[in-house]
Amino acid sequence: MNEMPVKDVKAFTANDFGSDQEVRWCPGCGDYAILKAMKTVLADIGRTPDDIVFVAGIGCAARFPYYLSTYGFHTIHGRAAAVATGVKLANPELDVWVVGGDGDFMSIGGNHTLHALRRNVDLNLLLFNNAIYGLTKGQYSPTSPVGTRSPSTPGGSIEQPVNPVRFALGAGAKFVARAADTLQTHLPGVLKRAHANKGASFVEILQNCLVYNDGAFGAINDRSQSHEATVRLEHGQPMVFGKEEDKGLVFDKETGAFEVVNLSDLASKDVLAIHDETNLVRAQALAELEQPGFPVPLGVIYAEIAAEFVEARGFSGTKSKWGRDELKALL
């Protein structure tokens, strides 16, 4: 007997968010780690798979929706943010995640990333940045550093790469964060913060491509050395890093730039920069910190509460208050 389906009220575990599909990423791909973290996060958030949608473009990362038990839409290259915007317009009550690689988000779909961010549509946009085109067999990408040798740049690439965090801040994003695939104690917290933000949440996840770009992020996503190469940002906390927490960042108000200091050289820790995720100027300075020379900032770089697009347009629910009487009045 067919009946209207009813909502499941049981608690879902991380495993419940896995699908029956065989995962087709290369063994050792950073995407496995992100998938694992995501399942944990979804279980913690506590919504049923029925109220969650993953939208993806094209590329290795974009296969993500197939491996989750939520609703999923694997779309076309670069357009996931636009498709996801439509999902939200139709049903603002859904949790919508957008997954794509550096090709999807920063190249063919750069325009859609820009506009989803500036509109502040309530989407969680996860950029899996591996600085290479994997699925098309290893060409350089818009986030590849200068000099990247690839099948299409045998002499090394000459293009200045795009810095996704700087791009997002420039687009007017109200939530910008960065994480790395293998840092499983850090990544879930960032994803949860992204979900909690009502508006467009942009998360760059540094992701290792074992086959075409192994070690592209050096020590950052090497768990044994990561603390030397990254600074974990905590709102209201001093910017301290290093395995022994022996280094820190100070902010030079004259130059508007950060400097690395050894804590042992300081008379007082009071000079250390305190992370204020609501400070846009600081966030822009943080976006400039790169290896070598600086620790790469991980965590929530910028977060500001702002009006969400679909809500501000006055759209809610899925049903229409519009009926024959309203139509007659319009005619």
Partner 1 sequence: MSDTATDPDAAGAAKVPPLVVRFAGDSGDGIQLAGYEFAKSTADAKSDFMTFPDFPAEIRAPIGTLFGVSAFQIQFGADEVLTPGDRADVLVAFNPAALVTNLQNLKSGGVLIVDDSSFDARGLKKAKLETNPLEDGTLDGFQLITVDVVKRTLEALDHLGLGRKPATRAKNLWVLGLVYWMFGRPLDTTQDWLTSKFKKTPEVAQANITALKAGHAYGETLEFSAFPTLSAPRIAKRHKGKSRIISGAQAMALGLAAVAALGKRDIVYCSYPITPASTLLHALARFEGGVRTFQAEDEIAAISAALGASFAGSLGVTASSGPGLSLKTEAMGLGISVELPLLVIDVQRGGPSTGMPTKPEQSDLTMAIHGRHGEAPLPVLAPATPDDCFWIMIEAARIAIETMSPVIILTDAYLANAASDWELPDVDSVPDIDWPAVTSSGEEFQPFTRDPETLARPWVAPGTPQHAHRIGGIEKAQGSGHISYDPANHQEMTKARAEKVSKVADRLPPVELEDGAQDGDILVIGWGSTHGSIAQAAKELNAQGKRVAHVHLRHLWPLPRGLDELIKRFPRAVTAELNTGQLCSILRSEYLAPVTCISQVNGQPFHVSDLKSEITKRLEAPVS
Residues that bind partner 1 (CB under 8 A): 2-8, 19, 21, 48-53, 55, 58, 65-66, 68-76, 79, 82-91, 93-94, 111-112, 114-115, 313, 315, 318-324, 326-328, 330-331
Q: Which is nearer to partner 1, 32 or 73 (CB)?
A: 73
Q: Which is nearer to partner 1, 201 or 221 (CB)?
A: 201
Q: Which is nearer to partner 1, 25 or 294 (CB)?
A: 25
Write down the least CB distance from residue 47 to partner 1, Å: 11
Q: Which is nearer to partner 1, 40 or 69 (CB)?
A: 69
Interatomic CA distance for residues 52 and 37, integer angstroms: 16
Q: Which two tokens stand for residue 1?
A: 């007997």
Angle at 302 between CA 296 and CA 306, to 5 degrees: 165
Interatomic CA distance for residues 128 and 101, integer angstroms: 5
CB 103 within 8 A of CB 141: yes
Backbone angles phi, psi at 319, to 5 degrees: -75, 160
| Sequence-ordered strand ranges (E) for 134-224 | 139-140, 175-180, 201-206
Write down the least CB distance from residue 322 to partner 1, Å: 3
Interatomic CA distance for residues 84 and 97, integer angstroms: 8
Interatomic CA distance for residues 251 and 222, integer angstroms: 27
Amino acid 39 reads K
Q: Which is nearer to partner 1, 119 or 193 (CB)?
A: 119
Q: Which is nearer to partner 1, 30 or 72 (CB)?
A: 72
Write down the least CB distance from residue 118 to partner 1, Å: 9
Write down the least CB distance from residue 48 to partner 1, Å: 7
Q: Is 14 helix (H, G, I), strand (E, B) or coil?
A: helix
Pairing, β 95-101 against β 230-232:
unpaired
Write down the least CB distance from residue 313 to partner 1, Å: 7
Write down the least CB distance from residue 94 to partner 1, Å: 5
